[in-house]
Amino acid sequence: MDINIKTLPEEVTVVEMAGDIDASTASAVQEKVLPLAQPGSKIILDMTQVPYTSSAGLRFLLSLYRQVTGNDGKLVLVGVSEQIQDTMSITGFIDFFTRCDTLDLGLEALK
């Protein structure tokens, strides 16, 4: 799992992830990403390069969502594959998230 964190103008943080998110990688992801959930933070998770998210991976996403929104922040998922979206839909995770196809649309959603 590779993680690349960029800060864009207007204080938007973009987290680019590449690789599967599962129990063996989720804790490493969590360590890097959770500290970004500061008060009022705007975060985009770019999942274009994530082929698979396991149960633990989805739990990481939901826990991040809870922390970000609990701090009056916003979280947007970008580039989630159709298969992951299907899994998220069946298992109820999807309803929590704002999802966008591209980074630009994600930035728009955060405005």
Partner 1 sequence: MVFARIDIQPTHTYGDFKLRRGRPFPFGATLVPGGVNFSIFSSHAKSCTLVLFKKHAKEPMAEIPFPDEFRIGNVFCTIVFDLDYENIEYGYRMEGPFNPKEGHWFDSSKILMDPYAKVIGGRDVWGVTPDWNDIYHHRARIVLDDFDWENDRPLEIPPEDMVVYEMHVRSFTRHPSSQVKHPGTFAAIRDKIPYLKELGVNAIELMPVYEFDEFENSRPNPQNPDELLVNYWGYSTVGFFAPKAGYAATGKIGMQVDELKTLVKELHKNGLEVILDVVFNHTAEGNEYGPTISFRGVDNKTYYMLTPEGYYFNFSGCGNTLNCNNPIVRNIVLDCLRYWASEYHIDGFRFDLASILGRDPSGAPLANPPLLETLAFDPILAKCKLIAEAWDAGGLYQVGSFPAFGRWAEWNGKYRDSIRKFIKGDGTVGDIAQRLQGSPDLYAWEGRGPATSINFITAHDGFTLLDLVSYNGKHNEANGENNNDGSNDNDSWNCGWEGPTDDAGINALRRRQIKNAVAILMVSTGVPMILMGDEVGRTQYGNNNTYCHDNELNWLDWTLLEQNADLFRFFKNCIAFRNAHPVLRSKYHFSNSDYMGSGYADITWHGTKAWNADWSASCRTIAMMLCGKHAKAGTVEDNYVYVAMNMHWEGLWFEIPGLRDGMKWHVFANTGATAPNDIWSPGQEPVLENQHGMLVGDRSVVILVGK
Which residues lie near partner 1 (CB under 8 A)? 22-24, 54-56, 58-59, 62, 86-87, 90-93, 96
In the complex, the smallest distance separating the C-beta of residue 7 from partner 1, rounded to whole angstroms, is 29
Neighbours of 12 (CB within 10 A): 19
C-alpha–C-alpha distance, residues 35 and 73, integer Å: 13
Nearer to partner 1 (CB atom), residue 65 or residue 106: 65
Helices 23-33 & 55-70 angle (0-180, nearest 10)? 20
Length of the chain: 111
Nearer to partner 1 (CB atom), residue 41 or residue 53: 53
Nearer to partner 1 (CB atom), residue 38 or residue 96: 96
In the complex, the smallest distance separating the C-beta of residue 55 from partner 1, rounded to whole angstroms, is 5
Backbone angles phi, psi at 71, to 5 degrees: -105, 25
